[in-house]
Amino acid sequence: MNDLRLALACVLTLAAAPVAFAQDTQRLRTDKVEVIVETVARNLQNPWGLAFLPDNRMLVTERSGRLRIVDTEGKLSEPIKGLPDISVRGQGGLLDVALDPNFAQNRLIYLSFAEDRGEGRNGTSVARARLSQDGAALEDTRVIFRQEPSYAGTHHFGSRLNFDRDGNLFVTLGERNDLRDQAQSLSNHLGKIVRIRPTGGAAPGNPFLNREDARAEIWSLGHRNIQSAALHPTTGELWTVEHGARGGDEVNIPQKGRNYGWPVISYGVHYSGQKIGEGTRKPGLEQPIYYWDPSIGPSGMAFYTGDKFPAWRGSILVGALAGKLVSRLEISGNRVTGEERMLQNLGERIRDVRQGPDGLIYLLTDSRQGRILRMRPAG
């Protein structure tokens, strides 16, 4: 009788297991490896950016204007105090977060955000601050960069933050949608990648430092709305993925002073179906190394360099909002040689992708009940 009861209990346990499994964990098959996707933390309001602290805790931004620390057990801290004033409208709010290369010594962090500029106008700004020893507040918060001009709109703020190997900061900036033609002008920061010193101001070696008709912070121009950026682990070059319109999401390796074409050339069309600009090519304008048509809505990217997924080493992992997936791009040199689309069964808008210190993959889901997900090999 006891054996029968034990057997029955085991059957009931196995029958009940898929319910809990489906809520918190999913086992999914990819081309090269079977993976477990598990929930690390939940109840984040539209999480946008993630950075790992030296003790493996995570700094996570919420577009609604909150910055939190998430511990290794998934517990959320209270919102950190001392943030700059943030304009939360449309696609704007608190965006990316990056640690200073010397964070372990100086505890400096950098935040990109939509800033209210008065009279209904706003723009992407970058602030620098020191994280207090207890992690509860930001100290000495100071805005070190403001996108100019400001604009009374709610779209296309960018914005990812990446330090280069010289310690200067790349900031990707949207063209604010309605002002798309300004992406071709050197007199403003719209539709540009800028490169600034960690204290603010144009970085040494920028291509337009000595031109009176150009903004000295500009690194490259002709971009639409870049929400994915990462340094190549070998070359140190900046790679980006930017939103197209209806089609034409692009992978680029932005070189200093180069023009990447928006809105003169594109592989997409306007949402109305009308043609964009002059076609797909024009002399003097750069071609993407890869593009999507139809769009996947790219946001967040990481080069995979860890040892937990050896078959993925060297790949780029790109989150997708509209596509609700993770795109794994295989690369050879400066060419994309293949694509695998993963995790469609999750049904989640993926806002950011990061490789953790443990070699696992961490994802942010874009919803009002957003989660941090962790992807690990099955078994």
Read off the pLDDT band of 12 (50, 70, 90): very low
| Contact by Cβ (8 Å): 136, 78 | yes
Which pTM was predicted? Answer: 0.93
Position 374 pLDDT exceeds 80: yes
Of 373, 309, 303, 313, nearest to 343 by C-alpha is 373
Report the pLDDT value the prediction gives residue 227, as an integer from 0 to 100.
98
What average pLDDT does the chain have? Answer: 93
What tokens appear for 65 in the block?
Answer: 């204007």
Separation CA 123–CA 143 (nearest Å)? 12
Kindly report which listed range (12-26, 47-61, 166-180, 303-317) carries the lowest average pLDDT score: 12-26
3-class DSSP state for residue 183?
Answer: helix
**How far apart, in whole angstroms, are the C-alpha atoms of residue 95 and residue 115?**
11
For the annotated catalytic residues, the residue numbers are 156
Task: List C-alpha distances in Å: 90 to 103, 148, 370.
Answer: 32, 19, 17
In angstroms, the CA 287 to CA 219 distance is 17
Which residues contact residue 28 at a Cβ distance below 8 angstroms, ignoring those fewer than 6 apart?
34, 35, 36, 37, 342, 343, 345, 346
- 179 in Cβ contact with 186 (< 8 Å): no
CB-based contact 346:358 (threshold 8 Å): no
Tell me whether strands 361-365 and 350-355 are parallel, antiparallel or unpaired. Answer: antiparallel
Say if residue 281's pLDDT is above 80: yes
Q: What is the per-residue pLDDT across 58-76, written as a single tens digit (0 to 9) for each?
A: 999 999 999 999 999 999 9
Task: Indicate whether 7 pLDDT > 90.
Answer: no
CB 246 within 8 A of CB 270: yes
Half-sphere exposure of 246 (CA within 13 A, CB side): 8
Peptide bond before residue 84 is cis, with ω within 30 degrees of 0 = no
340-368 pLDDT, tens digit per residue, is: 999 999 999 999 999 999 999 999 999 99
Specify the pairing of strand 249-252 against strand 238-242. Answer: antiparallel
- Per-residue pLDDT, averaged over 229-254, amounts to 98
pLDDT tens digits along 287-309: 999 999 999 999 999 999 999 99
Q: What does the pLDDT average to over 329-333?
A: 97
Interval 205-234: pLDDT, tens? 999 999 999 999 999 999 999 999 999 999
At residue 23, the pLDDT reads 52
Cβ–Cβ under 8 Å, residues 312 and 32: yes
CATH fold of the domain at 25-377: Neuraminidase (2.120.10)
Listed residue (64, 72, 24) closest to 47, CA to CA: 64
Distances (CA, A) of 326 to 249, 296, 311, 323: 14, 10, 16, 8
What is the reported pLDDT for 117? 97
Task: For residue 379, name the pLDDT band (cuts at 50, 70, 90).
Answer: confident
CA angle, 84 then 117 then 261, to 5°: 100
**Residue 24 pLDDT class (50, 70, 90 cuts):** confident
CA distances from 7 to 2, 12, 21, 64, 317 (A): 9, 9, 21, 50, 44
More confident call, 19 vs 194? 194
The whole-angstrom separation of Cα 216 and Cα 201 is 8
- Band the pLDDT of 31: cuts 50, 70, 90: very high
Distances (CA, A) of 21 to 33, 37, 348: 19, 10, 17
Confidence (pLDDT) at 319: 98
The torsion region of residue 299 among left (phi > 0), alpha (psi -120 to 50) and beta comes to: beta
When computed from its CA atoms, the radius of gyration of the chain, rounded to whole angstroms, is: 21
- Cβ(260)–Cβ(220) under 8 Å? yes
CB neighbours of residue 17 within 10 Å = 10
- The H-or-E segment that residue 336 falls in is strand 335-342
d(CA 234, CA 152) in angstroms, rounded, equals 41
pLDDT in tens, 126-149: 999 999 999 999 999 999 999 999
pLDDT in tens, 270-279: 999 999 999 9
Using CB atoms within 10 A of its CB, is residue 204 exposed (0-12), middle (13-18) or buried (19+)?
Answer: exposed
